[in-house]
Every structure is written in C-alpha cells, then in structure tokens.
Chain A
Amino acid sequence: MGLLDAVSIPRRTMVLFFLVDTSGSMSGDKIGAVNEAIREVIPEINDISSENADAQIKIAVLDFSSGAHWIYDKPVEADQFVWNNLEVGGLTDMGVAYKMLNEKLSRTEFMSDITGSYAPAIFMMSDGAPTDDYKKELEELRKNKWFKVGIKVAVAIGNDANKEVLKEFTGNEECVLEAHTPEALKQMIRFASVTASQIGSKSSGVGIGGADDSSTKADDFTKQLKDFTAENIDPNDVQAGW
C-alpha cells in the first residue's frame, strides 16, 4: 500500500552459541554423543527459524581443547549450518574459550545483527576439567553485558563431570544439566535450544537496579528448565512463539 509498508524490517535474529569441549577426556562416546546430538538438533532449530519469516536463529560453535577456535568466523543461519564431527585430543583450555567468547560477544562482532532485545543463548558442553587458568578469563567474561543477560546452560557430559566448574559458568546450578546417555543429551540440547529461542523473543521484561531486582530472560529460562525432565519432549508442544 503505502510508503511505510516499503520500510524494511530486519529479521529478528537470535544467536545460539555452542562451546564444545574437545579435549582428550571427551573421547569415545562422550564426543560421539555431542556430535550426534548437535547434528540432530540443528534441523529442528532450522524448523523454528523457517516457520517464521520474520525471525531467524544463527549458530556459532567454538570448540576448545588445546586452544580454541570458531568453526565459522561469523554466526551462520541454521539452514546453512553444516555440522562436521568434532575430533578430540589435547588439553582443556577453558580460559581461552572464555576469552574468545568475550571478544565475540560485542556489537561489532557476533552481535551485530541483533535487533534490540534478543539475548544470546550459550551452551557449554564439557566434562568440566579445565587445564588452564580459566578463572581470570571467566571473571572478565562475567563483566560482558551480553553475557550477563544471556541464557547460559552447561551440559555436563559423562558420569565424572565436574559440575562445580560448570556452575561457575552458568551462575546457578539449575542450568547445569547432566547427560548420562546420548539420547538424554540430545533431548536436553533440543529442549534447551528450543526454549531459549522461544524466551529470547518474548516481550521485554525489565531489570532495574541490582541483580536481585532483575527478572531477566535468563531467569524465565531457568524456571522453565527446572521443570524439565529427561522424558521425551514432543517438539510440537513447544510452539514457536515468535
């Protein structure tokens, strides 16, 4: 019709980050489960994304072992994302991973597409045994405003995973999930990604003043995650709330 309809409204973008521990201790079925889970969940994320012409989810993956590196140099749309199995070997430079994440969580880097109110969702998959001085980098990362408001989930892989380290990342224990079987891992990642993308689009809650006052999207997410069980979650129940 008119002038205004010609105005282009950018697609709402939300970025999902996967930080994957590919150190030696993750070998065997641990990395096998992660590879399969992510490979299987990407099409589902793609579904959410494509069901809404106005919204899209982009994915960024950082794998860390001895050093860390981004699989792609920019977040990639779910439908374009190709998952190549990650290989394992080496140490666990969690500090380096935190540092690199901190660098990219900025408007001039991976957050450049973000329309006003979508906080990133960050998934860490690890058995939690860092071998470098990660605390310093984590402290710096915690000051990053995108990190602060972001949804953070850690999936503890394996029976001997160090949950304390992962708790430091998420800031609370409700967001540290345990996966003991490959199937459980897949369910978890799927539920968490789908819920996070849903929450990400909700109309702005407000946090004012100190941390105690804020009811942020991360809190909403945590509440939902608390109710989560390892039962099969029918993806159709979780409506694309965009």
Chain B
Amino acid sequence: MSKFKAFNLTEIGASHIKEAKVCQDDSLSFEEKGYAVAIVCDGHGSNKYFRSDRGSRIAALVTISAIQELMKSRTIKNEQGSKLIDALFTNPDKFMQQLAANIIYRWREQIAEDYQHEPFSESELALLSPKELIASQKEDGWVSAYGTTLIAAVRASNFWFGLHIGDGKCVTVNADGTTAQPIPWDEKCFLNVTTSLSDAQALSSFRWVFEQNNKSSYLSSFQKNLPMAIFVGTDGVDDTFGNDEALESFYKTVVQLFNEKDFDEAKAELKTYLPKLSEKGSRDDVSIAGILYNKTVTKK
C-alpha cells in the first residue's frame, strides 16, 4: 500500500463551454508503494494554439513515463556501490535539469509523430493570421500549435520535488498549517503571457524545487520538514483567486476536506466544485492534482 495518495481532476472552463471550445487542460496522477506523482498541463488558449489540447495530453503522458523511469532507477548502484538516489541528494540540480530535458525531448518526439501522422488541416490553418501562417511553415514553426504549460510534483518518503514551466501554481501545505509556493516564479509569466514547453529555449524556462528530509529530524513517519500535501493547479485556479493568500487558503480548505472525508468522497466533492469555481471565477479550464498522506496507512 502506498504511503501517499494522489488524485487529479480536470474540468472544462465555463468560457470554453460557451464558445464550444475543447478543454485544453490535462492532468494525471499516480501512486505506488514508495512515491506518488501529480501533474497538470494547460494548453494555450488563443486561436493559433489549436492543438494545445493534444500538446497538454502528450505532456502529461511523457512526464509521467519519465518520472516513473527516473524513480525506478534510483536504486541502481554504481561501481562504488552507491545508489543513484545518493547522487540525486548531492546534486539535485543536475538531476532536475536532466529530467526537464528528457521531458522536452520526449514531448517533441511525440508531437512530431502526431504532426507527421496528421499535418494541419485547412480548417486549422484558417485559424491563423497571414503572418502566423507564414511562421507555421518555417522549420520549427508548427510546434507552437501544441504549446502547453506543465507542473509536476513527486513525493517520496524522504524527498519531494516539483518541476514547472509556464503559469499555474504549485502550493504546499505543511503539517503545522503553513502554506508555501516553493517553486521559483518566472516573471515572464504575467497575465495572459506564459512560457511554454514549445519554446525554443524551453529548458532554460524550467524551474524546480528539490527538498530532502532533514537527517537531523527524529520524527519518522511524519517527516516534519517535508510538505504534508502538495497541490499543482493550472491558472484557471489561481486566476480565480487573484492573490496568493486566497489561493493558499483555498488549498488549506481542500486539505481539510480530505482530512474530514474519505479520499474518494473528497475527490468527488472537489470534482463537483471545480466547474462552479470556473463559472464564478476565471471561466477558464481548471485542473488540480494533489498528493496527500494516505490516512489509512498513517492512522495507527
């Protein structure tokens, strides 16, 4: 049984419904014995990003594969007998950068396959302005139509990390009730402008955080200095709340919900709530994925 539980929810935005637009968000979650993963992706909204729903789906899928592969290899030993995980602790930046590069690589390979299999149709190209049309015919010009943001969080017993490109927010809630947004923010993401997985310099736009269990802590099952809950959400969520305080307070309420109810019940209630949040708030697609402690394991 996993120490952690993960969930993911994606609901189409009120404005997307009104304009008969597809949902461009996607999300995934995964848990296994030693760790859990939460991922959200937000395909860009303007007309010229007409395949961003595919881009976000592909991004979520390649990210989860990459993470699973990384986590599988963490116990591989080198010639001296030390495990990869030790190298990860010593030099997390190197590993985070490698993971980000791998995600970009996989994503580009898959969207290239999609594009080759199905070049842009007349109706898709009609959505572009003359200038955009010319740009899309240049060598790498078709890629941006798939553009998406990505936030991924991974929680294991003695470490966690978050990887992020573009807008949307990652909020952590600690056992003492405090909240934080530990992944560094990118000032280039402002209002409706965001960095993207499709950017030519995507790797340099990735941000991350890596935290490991403080070895001097004597608490075992409740590692006090690692977050109790981690949430990742697309900007449909944070745009609704407008400021950090309101957003973090919202997530604290979500934690409370999961504390009070059974996991599946809580998830169902959050799912019903999301469309209301979009309707009253940002009107945009909303996705939330989260990782929490598995109550049935820790309740001893």
Chain A residues near B (Cβ < 8 Å)? 2-10, 12, 54, 113-119, 145-146, 149, 201-209, 212-217, 242
16 pairs, A vs B, C-beta closer than 8 Å? A4-B269, A5-B276, A7-B249, A12-B282, A54-B281, A116-B242, A117-B282, A119-B192, A201-B15, A204-B44, A204-B191, A206-B192, A206-B193, A208-B193, A212-B131, A216-B193
Task: Given A7-B253, A115-B282, A203-B283, decide whether A208 and B242 contact each other with a Cβ distance below 8 A.
Answer: no
Residues of A within 8 A of B190 (CB): 145, 149
Q: Are B242 and A113 in contact (CB under 8 A)?
A: yes
Task: Known A-B contacts: A117-B284, A202-B15, A208-B198. Give 12 more (CB < 8 A).
Answer: A4-B257, A9-B277, A10-B242, A12-B282, A116-B239, A203-B21, A203-B283, A204-B44, A205-B46, A206-B44, A206-B196, A208-B147
Task: Given A4-B270, A116-B235, A149-B190, decide whether A201 and B48 contact each other with a Cβ distance below 8 A.
Answer: no
Residues of B within 8 A of A113 (CB): 242
Contact of A2 among B16, B250, B257 (CB under 8 A): B257
Minimal Cβ-Cβ distance residue in B for A3? B257
Minimal Cβ-Cβ distance residue in B for A10? B242
Task: Given A9-B240, A117-B239, A203-B15, decide whether A208 and B196 contact each other with a Cβ distance below 8 A.
Answer: yes
Minimal Cβ-Cβ distance residue in A for B49? A206
Q: Taking the nearest CB of chain A, how far is it from the CB of B71, in angstroms?
A: 31
Contact of A203 among B45, B194, B249 (CB under 8 A): B45
A108 to B47 alpha-carbon distance, docked (Å):
33
Interface residues on B, range: 35 or more
Q: Are B257 and A205 in contact (CB under 8 A)?
A: no
A170 to B232 alpha-carbon distance, docked (Å):
37
A66 to B47 alpha-carbon distance, docked (Å):
45
A6 to B195 alpha-carbon distance, docked (Å):
34
The list of the 10 closest CB pairs from A to B, nearest first, reads A116-B239, A115-B242, A205-B46, A206-B44, A204-B192, A215-B46, A203-B15, A4-B273, A207-B193, A203-B284
Q: Are B239 and A204 in contact (CB under 8 A)?
A: yes
Residues of A within 8 A of B281 (CB): 9, 12, 54, 115
A9 to B239 alpha-carbon distance, docked (Å):
10
Residues of A within 8 A of B46 (CB): 205-206, 215
- In this complex, which of B45, B194, B283, B285 has the most chain A Cβ atoms within 10 angstroms of its Cβ? B283
**In the complex, chain B residues 225-261 whose Cβ is within 8 Å of any chain A Cβ:** 235, 238-243, 246, 249-250, 253-254, 256-257, 260
Chain A proximity mask over B210-234: 1 for CB below 8 Å, otherwise 0: 0000000000000000000000000
Minimal Cβ-Cβ distance residue in A for B269? A2
| Interface: B199 (CB within 8 A) | yes
A117 to B15 alpha-carbon distance, docked (Å):
14
Chain A proximity mask over B1-23: 1 for CB below 8 Å, otherwise 0: 00000000000010110000100
Q: Are A117 and B192 in contact (CB under 8 A)?
A: yes
Minimal Cβ-Cβ distance residue in B for A212? B131
- In this complex, which of A10, A115, A204, A205 has the most chain B Cβ atoms within 10 angstroms of its Cβ? A204
Task: Given A9-B280, A206-B147, A215-B47, decide whether A3 and B192 contact each other with a Cβ distance below 8 A.
Answer: no
Q: Taking the nearest CB of chain B, how far is it from the CB of A145, in angstroms?
A: 5
A227 to B21 alpha-carbon distance, docked (Å):
24
Residues of A within 8 A of B193 (CB): 149, 206-208, 214, 216
A119 to B239 alpha-carbon distance, docked (Å):
12
Residues of A within 8 A of B256 (CB): 3
Residues of A within 8 A of B253 (CB): 3-4, 6-7
A8 to B250 alpha-carbon distance, docked (Å):
9
A7 to B270 alpha-carbon distance, docked (Å):
12
Residues of B within 8 A of A7 (CB): 249-250, 253
Residues of A within 8 A of B240 (CB): 9, 115-116
Contact of A54 among B194, B235, B280 (CB under 8 A): B280
Minimal Cβ-Cβ distance residue in A for B281? A9
